[in-house]
Structure 1
Amino acid sequence: MAGLVCRLPAGALADHFDRRRVMILADVVRAVALGSIAIAAAFGVLSVWQVVVTALVDKSFGEPFRPASTAALRRVVRPEEMPAAVSRLEARSYAAGAAGPPLGGLLFGLATLAPFAADAVSYVYSLVSTFFVRTSMAVAPSPAPERIVTRLAGGLRWIWSERLIRDILVSAAGINAVFGAPGLAVIVDTRDHGATSTEIGVMLGIAGAAGFVGATLATRLAKSAHPSLVVLGIFWVTAALIPLIAIDANPCILGAATLLAPAANTILISRVIVVTPDSLQGRVDAAGNFMTGALRPLAPLATGLLLTAIGGPGTLIAIAVAMGAIALAVTVSSRMRSIPPVAQSPPPAELRPSPTAPD
């Protein structure tokens, strides 16, 4: 919730200040916050309140980092190379998601302070890497002063004026709201059928590995297949596979449902970055994430209510029906059926700042 509240202001910050400085400041604050946990644990004075406050600080300062880093990506990557760059970020995200929990558990087993210290070190590594990026991340000053509300809403206004971008993000909001639901339903359903915690963990691990494989193949798929085919495919394939999971909770089926998602994300995110004006990059990224993430917290709640009312198989069928309805709505949209390749979407005509040495 803290991230959602901070999201739009974070985008405005990323479009107002030098983006490299925003990223470095965010990393410094988060490194200090996580480092304080490690120090407190080392001296035996760690409290629950310190953990809670640190979590809030970590999440809140992570919000301006993302739009600033997305805007920075636009400065250092050519449009035709954007899908490759985004797919690598997708692969990194899936790899971190798969390796993070077991690695955190291993470090925690070694020492209470170890995972927090490692997290702090990762932020230090990030800020040092950002510091040595030589491309200028300075933001051109606004030609006229804007009221705070106007500036905060700038990304949402631009998204709503661009019909294809609006359709992309609205459909992404729908799939995010539904896509997070099958995991919980699968866990409950497979446990009801006698699966052990280890078997469930292996199954979810296979699904995560499939996402990583999909991310590594995303660039090739984005080049060889029509963007609309990939994007529509993730909706319809997921809608078709979820009922099969209700019949047989096979990890391969769950993995297949996640295989296309990174490619669809690569295509959609790349296009948004390429066509967004530099002066709006931070706010559009933040607004897009606000739109696509606003409904996500409802998925576990709705899934829990459905599991209580109709059980695991019935819940998976209901999720499949919801996904099918979204897939149908997306397919009906002529704009979603004709998404042009990123290479055919030149960025707005803007002067690109010359590379300069770090401050």
Structure 2
Amino acid sequence: MLLNASHDVKRTGAGFPQAPVIARAKTVIIFLKREVSVVPPTAAPVGCPPTARTGTEDERTVGAEPGKGAETSNGSGRTEAPAPVETQHEKTPAPGGKQNPLRLRNAAFTRVWAGSIFSSVSSRTLGVAYPLLALALTGSPALAGWASFTLTLPILLFYVPAGVLVDRVDPRSLMLFTETFRGLAVTSLLLAFVLGVPSMPHVLAAAFLEGTLWVFYTLAETALLPSLVLEEQVTRAMARSETGAHIAVLAGRPLGGLLFGIAHAVPFALDAVLFLTSTLCLLGQTSEGETPGGRRHRQAHAFRQIASGVRELAGRALLAEMVDGVRELARHRFLRRAMALTTVTNLMVNTLIMIFIAGSANLSPLEVGLVLAAGGVGGVLGSSFAPSVKPRRAMLFTQMWIWVFALSLAALGEHPLFFGLATLMTGYTGARNNVAIRSFEIHAVDRSKLARVTSVHRLAVYGAVCLAAPLGGVLVSAFGTHEAAMKLFKAMFAIAIAVTATRFLRCIAVTATRLPP
């Protein structure tokens, strides 16, 4: 660098070169300035690789295309394109702080995470408000059930196709799209209240649209969140996301019923505000390396990009990519077993909840609410301690037997306290394992197929949840509350024994093959 600089010849105003001695003196001064302004590699923030400071981070850089360098912040709130190393060292940090891409990442994650909580609270509130509105309009429990079914039907119809689309478009753009139209759906109901009374077809259409957009939003969030943190922060980020989901469950469901009791339009007004807040969180998110102009361009072209992605998925391409997602999941033994276990355990615990609700006629609303809230409390506690859990097969085996013990409490004790303990235990264990499974998906699955793999897994799990409600009702109708809980425990115990025996026999077979002849 010094040798090349010493051969530079600058001309005076008369057009003649300066003396060599003066040129060399200037070169020495420039070199000394550079040495003073250089930030040593050891001065990088903890967890922030040097590449994040020089703007040459790879595909994991948020806002940068694979293979291209990201733009960096100069500490004054503006962003600059990556410069050559010679000029990069000459830059002096602006007053008020040094360059810190890690802080930009954390700020972006916090905005998206906060927006996700607002969105989840809205979703849980609407899950209560739509059936209650249908019941208030018609007086028919059957139509209230149809409103609830309309909310969950898109899970069965669109989860896997949504995963294919999310893998092909910018997830932030898709989240902006979904939040905008979810807000418009509840706003349309508010206008209907102002003009008169909403019709039942309007309620069902809004509920179906809410369920459909929720599917796309959750998958886009799954694809976006890992890109906002460093690799070593993924598990902690997934734990925060899981905690937010359980907080939304605890807050949203009782809030929906409480606000609907005040006035039928109140929960929808709140949800319109929450969706707007969630959208503003996404609009305010600036990724590391993204200029304000780039952010405006992304927001302006969000809908156009989604439309282009939908057109590309017409016909056989959609089916082929859906099958590709199934194959990618099947390639990982841990994910195969995790999907099988979570499907069974979700079926069991949600059937148990339905059994409790069906047999709760003699209980006070407070007792019912506390039992149902216990699962959410367990989820918050479990996800809070989840960063220490590593995805291993033994983890799945342990969860299965904890489920057996939890169901035994509900089966052997008729008091609501035993049901509450069962849901608390299953919520705690389930949240810890959810974080471990999501972290494994992010680390082991090809990022270009992550949404498809997640969609296949969630389709199986939520399909079991949809089956749990009618199954619980049938069991209570046929055997009563206590006997239905006992049969559920026996079924779970039989499954656990079968899995344990299979694992034991497999271990014996493997040991036998390793013994010398």
* TM-score, with length taken from structure 1: 0.82
CA distance in 2, matches of 1:76, 1:296: 30
CA distance in 1, matches of 2:274, 2:432: 27
Counterpart residue number, 2:194:
42
Q: 1:214 to 1:128 in 2, by over 3 A?
A: same
CA distance in 2, matches of 1:81, 1:272: 14
The answer on whether the counterparts of 1:182 and 1:316 sit within 8 Å (CA) in structure 2 is yes
> Runs of at least 4 residues of structure 1 off by over 6 A?
136-139
Report how many residues are paired: 328
Counterpart residue number, 1:299:
468
CA distance in 2, matches of 1:87, 1:327: 27
Where does structure 2 lack aligned partners over 5 or more consecutive residues? 1-152, 291-297, 299-304, 508-517
The answer on whether the counterparts of 2:171 and 2:224 sit within 8 Å (CA) in structure 1 is yes
Q: 1:68 to 1:89 in 2, by over 3 A?
A: same
Counterpart residue number, 2:353:
183
Counterpart residue number, 1:357:
none
SS in 2 for 1:46: coil
Counterpart residue number, 1:197:
365
Counterpart residue number, 2:120:
none
CA distance in 1, matches of 2:333, 2:199: 49
Cα distance per residue 1:226-276 (max 9 Å; x no partner):
744443322211211212222323233442333211111111121112211
CA RMSD of aligned residues (A): 2.8
Cα distance per residue 1:82-119 (max 9 Å; x no partner):
22212222221111111112222333344332211221
SS in 2 for 1:260: helix
CA distance in 1, matches of 2:479, 2:411: 13
2:287 to 115, 130, 134: 134
CA distance in 2, matches of 1:286, 1:204: 27
Look up the equivalent residue of 1:150 and give its one-letter code.
Answer: A
Counterpart residue number, 1:120:
272
Deviation at 1:203, TM superposition (A): 2.2
2:374 to 199, 206, 220: 206
Look up the equivalent residue of 2:451 and give its one-letter code.
Answer: G
State yes or no: 1:87 paired with 2:239.
Answer: yes
Q: 1:179 to 1:19 in 2, by over 3 A?
A: same
SS in 2 for 1:87: helix
Counterpart residue number, 1:232:
397
Mapping for residues 219-258 of structure 1, pairs under 5 Å: 219-220=387-388, 222=389, 227-248=392-413, 249=415, 250=417, 251-258=420-427
CA distance in 2, matches of 1:325, 1:74: 38
Look up the equivalent residue of 2:410 and give its one-letter code.
Answer: I
CA distance in 2, matches of 1:247, 1:257: 17
Deviation at 1:215, TM superposition (A): 2.3
Deviation at 1:16, TM superposition (A): 1.4
CA distance in 2, matches of 1:177, 1:203: 18
Deviation at 1:72, TM superposition (A): 0.9
Deviation at 1:9, TM superposition (A): 1.3
Q: 1:106 to 1:254 in 2, by over 3 A?
A: closer
The answer on whether the counterparts of 1:39 and 1:113 sit within 8 Å (CA) in structure 2 is no
Look up the equivalent residue of 1:134 and give its one-letter code.
Answer: S
| Greater Cα radius of gyration, structure 1 or 2 | 2
Cα distance per residue 1:31-66 (max 9 Å; x no partner):
111111122223324222211111111111111212
Mapping for residues 103-114 of structure 1, pairs under 5 Å: 103-114=255-266
The answer on whether the counterparts of 1:171 and 1:326 sit within 8 Å (CA) in structure 2 is no
Q: 1:50 to 1:289 in 2, by over 3 A?
A: same
The answer on whether the counterparts of 2:166 and 2:451 sit within 8 Å (CA) in structure 1 is yes
Where does structure 1 lack aligned partners over 5 or more consecutive residues? 338-359
The answer on whether the counterparts of 1:233 and 1:260 sit within 8 Å (CA) in structure 2 is no
Which is bigger in relative contact order (C-alpha 8 A, separation at least 6)?
A: 1
Deviation at 1:172, TM superposition (A): 1.6
* TM-score, with length taken from structure 2: 0.58
